[in-house]
Structure 1
Amino acid sequence: MNTAASSESVTELYRAHHGWLNGWLRRRLDNASDAADLAQDAFLRIIRARNADAIVEPRHYLATIAKGLVVDLFRRRSLESQYLELLARQPEQEWPSEEARALVIETLMEVDRMLDGLGPRVKETFLLAQCEGLSYPEIAGRVGISLRTVNNYMARAMEHCCLYQLQQGA
């Protein structure tokens, strides 16, 4: 696909469906600013994917992208809220700078994306080992599973994380 044709396709798609998508998001989010941001993000994804010429059902396609963006928005806000609650328990002089907080939240989002798709028990096992530094026997006792299951869960989580990293590098 040549770049000029792709650019024209995105322009046509944007003109024909941006207003609809913005309204669709505004009704679901009840927030015009968030709706406008996510509508723009949806079109940015299409530009990055370079597949505007191949889109057969634009509104369905855009709605699918937008649903994922809404999930990401709420997931990010939830993580950010939890982080800020944790931070609020610390003395103010120990708070990191705004830039450091933004980096922490971005890192948390990336870890969340990386662990997405793991079952809740596997994720919990992995986080207990990686974040709390618990040994496998300690995890088995806390979660109420066998040591063999902890080993299996950790192997599954490590494989999942390695595959994620390979996909991100590709």
Structure 2
Amino acid sequence: MPPANRDAVGELYSQHHSWVVTLLRSRLGNREQALDLAQDTFVRLLRSELPAPLREPRAYLATIAGRLCLQHFRRQALERAYLESLARLEPAQQPSEETRLMVLEALDAVGQVLDGLGSRVREVFLLSQLDGLTYAQIGEQLGLTVNVVQKAMLKAYRHCYAEVYGA
């Protein structure tokens, strides 16, 4: 990371950290989670190149924090759905705590990869992979041509490959 970027993020942190925490706390209703996501916001800045100069730093920070907040809510919903499905199992079929944690970590990893897709591409991908719909069925359901569905699937596959294999 270039020192200039580190210095710029340090300055943003000192000037806006408490504002980001307040913003996130209003959305999450929990100070500890707000502190965690605020920290993640600035870590994300450290790992990226800041557009220079930032004319509206709070808008930029709010966008990053908002995206992290949405990811957090999606992860919570995914975890809730998994735990609800486990609650319907007979006690003898319940996985061990270790297995539950491994599944939740895997679901979180998949969720993070899917978060990187645009909403339409993600929807096309999930309809194909989870619901088993054909491209024609997806196109009909979403009002898209088969060609558009194919392009969305190609984009999703490329994104998933790049996220998993770093290519």
- Shorter chain as normaliser: what TM range? 0.7 to 0.9
**Structure 2 residue runs without a partner (length 5+):** none
The structure 1 segments of at least 4 consecutive aligned residues displaced by more than 4 Å after TM superposition are 119-122, 149-154
Choose 64-73 or 24-33, whichever is displaced more.
Answer: 24-33
Contact 1:13–1:52 (Cα < 8 Å) also in 2: no
1:46 maps to 2:49: no
Give the aligned partner of residue 111 of structure 2. 109
Equivalent residue pairs, number: 159
TM-score (norm 2): 0.74
Match runs of 1:11-160 below 5 Å: 11-51=10-50, 54-93=53-92, 94-96=94-96, 97=98, 98-110=100-112, 112-113=114-115, 116-118=118-120, 120=123, 123-129=126-132, 136=134, 155-160=150-155
Choose 107-116 or 95-104, whichever is displaced more.
Answer: 107-116
1:105/1:92 CA distance change after superposition, 3 Å: farther
Structure 1 residue 30 displacement after superposition? 1.8
1:2/1:160 CA distance change after superposition, 3 Å: closer
Structure 1 residue 24 displacement after superposition? 1.5
* Inter-partner Cα distance in structure 2 for 1:11 and 1:121: 40
**Structure 1 residue runs without a partner (length 5+):** none
Contact 1:125–1:150 (Cα < 8 Å) also in 2: no
Contact 2:125–2:153 (Cα < 8 Å) also in 1: no
Structure 1 residue 121 displacement after superposition? 6.1
- CA RMSD between the two structures: 3.3
Q: Which amino acid aligns with 2:24?
A: L
Structure 1 residue 152 displacement after superposition? 5.4
1:157/1:7 CA distance change after superposition, 3 Å: closer
